[in-house]
């Protein structure tokens, strides 16, 4: 199996590139943000809980997020592999992901980061808010909190994949096609 983590700050382009990558490699796309938003829209119990964190820019608690992701992974019977987009975001999530992939006899093939500077992230998210209607993109204070949480809680996970020699990074600013090429070059070399 080919199991890729697409890593990077909010607004790095993980969603955009994931759509192209799943098409090229025939993978299953698991975006925790998309799954939470679908639940918010459907006003499920999970959605109502998630909304109370997401609108403020906080992370949804690990326990809830890990359980949800594991059940999404287990729904797939014979996948060629997964693209994890927005997961893991904490070291507990990274450890849990290793555990449940190893339970299925597989592992992370690579964690690829999209490098985008904070100022570019702020501009992109405020722009996205115009179309997305996402409350967490419309407020600069919420955006700044998300960037801070990314640095404090999410960035340190890189060490986990570096130790396994499974970490790479590409520059995430430029044409979508150019960035896609950089990503596929990395993935093809895994």
* Residue 166: active-site member: no
Residues at the interface with ligand ADP (CB under 6 A)? 10-11, 32-33, 36, 53-54, 57-60, 65, 86-87, 89, 93, 136, 146
* Residue 37: active-site member: no
Spatial separation of the C-alpha atoms in residues 155 and 188, rounded to whole Å? 24
Q: In the 3-class helix/strand/coil scheme, how is 41-82 assigned residue by residue?
A: HCCCHHHHHHHHHHCCCCCCCHHHHHHHHHHHHHCCCCCCEE
Spatial separation of the C-alpha atoms in residues 149 and 156, rounded to whole Å? 11
Closest contact distance (angstroms) between CB of 189 and ligand ADP is 25
Closest contact distance (angstroms) between CB of 16 and ligand ADP is 11
Closest contact distance (angstroms) between CB of 110 and ligand ADP is 18
* Residue 14: active-site member: yes
Catalytic annotation, pick one of 37, 51, 124, 146: 146
Residue 151 vs 185, nearer CB to ligand ADP: 151
Spatial separation of the C-alpha atoms in residues 149 and 143, rounded to whole Å? 10
Catalytic annotation, pick one of 14, 51, 124, 166: 14
Q: Is 70 buried (19+), middle (13-18) or exposed (0-12) by CB count in 10 A? A: middle
Residue 10 vs 172, nearer CB to ligand ADP: 10
* Residue 146: active-site member: yes
Closest contact distance (angstroms) between CB of 141 and ligand ADP is 13
Catalytic annotation, pick one of 37, 51, 89, 124: 89
Spatial separation of the C-alpha atoms in residues 48 and 23, rounded to whole Å? 32
Which residue's CB comes closest to ligand ADP?
Answer: 33
Residues marked active site are found at 14, 89, 128, 134, 146
């Amino acid at each position: 199996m080919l199991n890729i983590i697409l890593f990077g700050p909010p607004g790095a382009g993980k969603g955009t590139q994931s759509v192209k990558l799943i098409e090229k490699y025939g993978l299953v796309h698991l975006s925790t943000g998309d799954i939470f938003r679908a639940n918010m829209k459907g006003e499920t119990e999970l959605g109502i809980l998630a909304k109370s964190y997401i609108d403020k820019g906080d992370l949804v608690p690990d326990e809830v997020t890990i359980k949800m992701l594991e059940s999404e992974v287990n729904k797939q019977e014979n996948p060629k592999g997964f693209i994890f987009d927005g997961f893991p975001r904490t070291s507990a999530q990274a450890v849990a992901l290793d555990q449940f992939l190893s339970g299925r006899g597989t592992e992370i093939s690579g964690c690829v980061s999209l490098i985008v500077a904070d100022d570019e992230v702020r501009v992109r998210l405020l722009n996205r808010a115009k179309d997305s209607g996402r409350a967490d993109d419309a407020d600069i204070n919420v955006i700044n909190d998300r960037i801070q949480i990314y640095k404090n809680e999410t960035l340190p996970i890189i060490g986990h994949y570096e130790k396994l020699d499974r970490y790479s990074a590409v520059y995430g600013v430029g044409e979508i096609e150019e960035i896609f090429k950089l990503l596929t070059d990395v993935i093809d070399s895994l």
